[in-house]
Chains A and B, each alone.
Chain A
Amino acid sequence: EAQVTQNPRYLITVTGKKLTVTCSQNMNHEYMSWYRQDPGLGLRQIYYSMNVEVTDKGDVPEGYKVSRKEKRNFPLILESPSPNQTSLYFCASSSKTGSFYGYTFGSGTRLTVV
């Protein structure tokens, strides 16, 4: 089944403790992206990657890092999480012309930073 897999689904952590949210897709998509979803704000793009070793900032990149060493994986790294990063996170992927076909989304990771 074609899908985007995120792990974990739920995560509670403490301020300052580094964490990684994994994202993997099995559709050979070139393009991957991370979004955070907050009430009343919709989805805001954190980082995106056009292909292996090519990443760029989205609208809200502060406090996050990403890497794209393999085509299928696009982990989101929070080096020193803070409470304002408590949110619902989505990974998405698309083919090279993703704007044409739209995204495939993962099921989300609900992160709570205390």
Chain B
Amino acid sequence: AQSVAQPEDQVNVAEGNPLTVKCTYSVSGNPYLFWYVQYPNRGLQFLLKYITGDNLVKGSYGFEAEFNKSQTSFHLKKPSALVSDSALYFCAVSPQGYSSASKIIFGSGTRLSIRP
């Protein structure tokens, strides 16, 4: 079965330190990969995507993600965390590529907490 795993329910980081939110996937073919962020009482907001090309993708708010095909991972990173980064983060995978928009599989989410 196709799936996305976010192994950590919560990640705690001190402000100014680097952060990593992990994501691994199990889908066939060459998937498209996404990260979304959800702030309290808000819908999901698009952060970044990987389609093809450079394995390091840069997105909004200083976030970046590294695609690793051999490890089927797409970890979200930021060099220096801010308290305002505290939110719920979702990894998502589209297993059908650009030919179809019918399916995006979401992970269970990781709550990122940045302490001052």
- Given A42-B108, A43-B106, is A99 in contact with B94 using a C-beta cutoff of 8 Å? yes
Q: CB distance A50 to B101 under 8 Å?
A: yes
Given A105-B43, A108-B42, A108-B43, does the pair A100, B104 have CB atoms closer than 8 Å? Answer: no
A-B Cβ contacts below 8 A, count: 69
Give Cα A41 to B107, complex, Å. 8
Residues of A within 8 A of B96 (CB): 99
B99 to chain A, nearest CB (A): 8
- Chain B proximity of A102: nearest CB distance (Å): 5
Query: How long is the Cα–Cα vector from A104 to B102 in the complex, in angstroms?
Result: 14
Interface residues on chain B, size class: 20 to 34
Query: How far does the alpha carbon of A107 sit from the alpha carbon of B108 in the complex, in Å?
Result: 18
Which of A56, A99, A104 is B104 in contact with, Cβ under 8 Å?
A99
Q: Please classify how large the interface on chain A is, using the bins under 10, 10 to 19, 20 to 34, 35 or more.
A: 20 to 34
Q: Can you sample 23 A-B contacts with CB below 8 Å?
A: A42-B6, A42-B90, A43-B106, A45-B103, A48-B102, A50-B101, A56-B102, A90-B44, A96-B101, A98-B101, A98-B104, A99-B32, A99-B94, A100-B51, A102-B34, A102-B46, A103-B104, A104-B46, A105-B43, A107-B41, A107-B42, A107-B43, A108-B41
Name B's A-contacting residues (CB within 8 A): 4, 6, 9, 32, 34, 36, 41-46, 49, 51, 90, 94, 96-98, 100-104, 106-109
Question: Which residues from chain A sit less than 8 Å from chain B, CB to CB?
Answer: 4, 30-31, 35, 40-45, 48, 50, 56, 90, 92, 94-108
